[in-house]
Each structure stands twice: as structure tokens, then as C-alpha cells.
Amino acid sequence: MCSNVQSTYRALRGFLCQEGALGGLRASYGRIGGVSTSPVGLLETATAEIEAHVGAAGWGQRPAVFALVRADRFGTDEPETAAQLGIDGALGDAFVPIEQDALPDGPLDEALAQIAWPDSVAGCALSQEIVMLPPTAEADVPDGPESLAAAANHPDRREARLVVGVLREGVTAAVLRLRGTAGSEDSELLIGPDLAPNLAEALLATLH
């Protein structure tokens, strides 16, 4: 849901809520003090926060794009919004994730190719649900256009929520949560920089 606060942090090609306001913004930085303040650590924290925000809406969500703005810059450029969200200068280089409007229908790589960010955006992130197969099942999936449908219908498939974040300087981070099966709980969050290198590369291209 959009707020009624105008934001200057928008992709140059749009993707804002129709009102031109901030998208569903999560500003839960309670764990910032307990994690690394390196660029990698702060980016991992931001991607984990995004995963929690998207996960709160349940499974079956469309891909979502987020601008990543440093908290100190956000507080300077948008003091009223920062005050509403409880963001202050003490957060320093921590990232404020700003959810953009829904991506257009069509291939994800084509949608990302249309995005360009203003210099005030330090990085960006994307959340999407994916289907994963064990190595033993890869031989069952044909190459070509039928591969996605075959993977989605494979009996050994696992659904997962993937969030990939990147910074202008080339730092990447990713988190992955497997969906529980047969009524079991979702898995713990997996964190690693190389979970989706191709997606990270595509996101980096939107920043340059």
C-alpha cells in the first residue's frame, strides 16, 4: 500500500505507485547494531529485511524491486518521511529499502533493462519466487522454452523466495528461503553472495 508521502527516490523509468508515493516501506533496523557495518554486512541486512517484508504478505507474490538509499542521505533529503519511519542519523550507512511499483508483465530481464536509477540511490534489490530442483532431477528438465514449465511441475521441486541486492561499487548479497512442504515451516534464511550471479549482474547494470 502506498503512503501519502512523496519521494524523490524513484527509478527514472517509473515503477512507482500510481500516487507517486513511497511503496510498502519496511524500516525495521533493530538488528543494525548487532551486525557488521561493512558494505557487505549492511547489504545482507537490507536483503534480509526485504525478505521479511515480502514474506509477511505470504507466498505467491510477484517480483518486487527496491531502491536502496543510505539512511543518512535519506534523512537529509526526506526528513519528514525519515521521522515518520523512525530513521535518524545514528543509522549512518544503513540502507533504507524503498519498494517500487510493480514490474510490467513480461520477461524479467527485459523489465530490468528499462530501469535506470538516480545517483542518490546507492543500490537496488529484487525479490522473486523461484523453483529449485535437486541435481538428480536436472536431467528430467528439457532445454528451451519448456524448461520452466517442466521444473514447475516436477515432483521434486521446491519453491523458494530469493532476494538479491547490489551496490554501485559492485558489492552483492543474496538471501534465500525455501518454502515448507506438507505443512512444515519455511526453512531458515540462507545467505551468500553467489546464490544468483546472473540476476546480480542484471541489477548492477541498472545502476550504471
Task: Output 197 or 34, whichever has higher pLDDT.
Answer: 197
For residues 184 and 196, what is the distance between their CA atoms, to the nearest angstrom? Answer: 26
Mean pLDDT, the chain, whole residue set = 76
The better pLDDT of the pair 7, 125 is held by 125
pLDDT at 170 over 90: yes
Give pLDDT, residue 14. Answer: 36
Q: Is the pLDDT of residue 1 over 50?
A: no
Sheet containing strand 95-99, strands side by side: 95-99, 64-70, 123-132, 158-167, 172-178, 190-191
Most confident of 3-7, 8-12, 79-83, 98-102: 98-102
Nearest-angstrom CA–CA distance, 191 and 197: 13
Mean pLDDT on 52-58? 92
As a whole-number percent, the residues of the chain with pLDDT over 90 amount to: 37
Closest CA to 66 of 121, 4, 129, 5: 121
- Measured between alpha carbons, how far is 207 from 94 in angstroms, rounded to an integer? 18
Of these ranges, 70-74, 112-116, 154-158, the one predicted with the greatest mean pLDDT is 112-116
Q: pLDDT band at 64, cuts 50/70/90? A: very high
Whether the CB-CB separation of 93 and 69 falls below 8 Å is answered with: no
Provide the β-strand partners of residue 125.
66, 165
Per-residue pLDDT tens for 108-152? 999 999 999 988 899 999 999 988 766 665 665 555 555 555 545
